A and B are shown apart, each in its own frame.
Chain A
Amino acid sequence: MKTKRSLLLAVLALACVAVAVQDQDKGVLLVDKNGNFKIYDAPSSLFDLLESGDISFKAEGSPMRGFSKQQGLTFSAKKMEGYAKRTSDGNLRLQNGTATGDVVMDVKSSVEAAQTTTSSHIETQSLKMTETDTGTTVVFPGPFLFNNSLTTTNLERTIQLKAPSGTFLLPVLDQTAGMKNPFLHADVKGPVDVLVVSKTKTDRGTSQWTVHVVCDSVTYDASDRTLRLLGNVKGDVTTQPATGEPFGFDVNVDWITILLDDNMMWKDVRMGKGGVQSKGGGQ
Chain B
Amino acid sequence: MDVDDSQIKFTGENDSTAVVQGVKGTLMKDGKVASHFVAKDGHADTSTGRLVLTGSVRITSERDGVVLTADKVTYDEKTALVIAEGSVTVQSDAWMSGPHRSLVAPPALDKIGTPDRFGL
On A, residues with C-beta under 8 Å from B are: 21, 24-25, 27-33, 37, 43-51, 53, 55, 58, 86, 90, 92
Interface size of B in residues (CB-CB distance below 8 Å): 22
Q: Counting CB contacts under 8 A, is B112 at the interface?
A: yes
**CB of B74 within 8 A of chain A?**
no
Q: What is the interface of chain A mostly: helix, strand, loop, or mixed? A: strand
Could you list 12 further interchain pairs (A-B, Cβ under 8 angstroms) beyond the known A27-B97, A30-B95, A48-B110? A24-B87, A25-B101, A27-B99, A27-B101, A28-B96, A30-B97, A37-B95, A45-B113, A49-B66, A55-B95, A58-B117, A92-B94
Q: Are B96 and A46 interface neighbours, CB within 8 A?
A: no
Query: Counting CB contacts under 8 A, is B78 at the interface?
Result: no
Which residues of chain B from 58 to 94 have any CB-CB distance to chain A below 8 Å in the complex? 63-64, 66, 87, 92-94
Kindly state the separation between the CA atoms of A273 and B87 in the bound complex, as whole angstroms. 68
User: Cβ of B97: which chain A residues have Cβ within 8 Å of it?
Assistant: 27-31, 47
Alpha-carbon separation in the docked complex, A37 to B111 (Å)? 19
List chain A residues, Cβ under 8 A from B87: 24
Residues of A within 8 A of B63 (CB): 51
Chain B residues in 8 Å Cβ range of A47: 97, 111-113
Q: Are A28 and B98 in contact (CB under 8 A)?
A: yes
How distant is the Cα of A259 from the Cα of B112 in the complex, in angstroms? Answer: 51
Q: Which residues of B contact A50 (CB under 8 A)?
A: 110
Residues on B with C-beta less than 8 A from A21 are 101
Point out the residue from A30, A32, A45 that lies within 8 Å of B117, measured CB to CB: A45
CB-CB under 8 A from A58, the residues of chain B are 113, 117
B21 at the interface (CB under 8 A from A): no
**Is residue B116 within 8 Å, beta carbon to beta carbon, of the partner chain?**
yes
10 A-B contacts (beta carbon < 8 Å): A27-B99, A33-B96, A45-B113, A46-B111, A46-B114, A49-B92, A51-B63, A53-B64, A90-B94, A92-B95
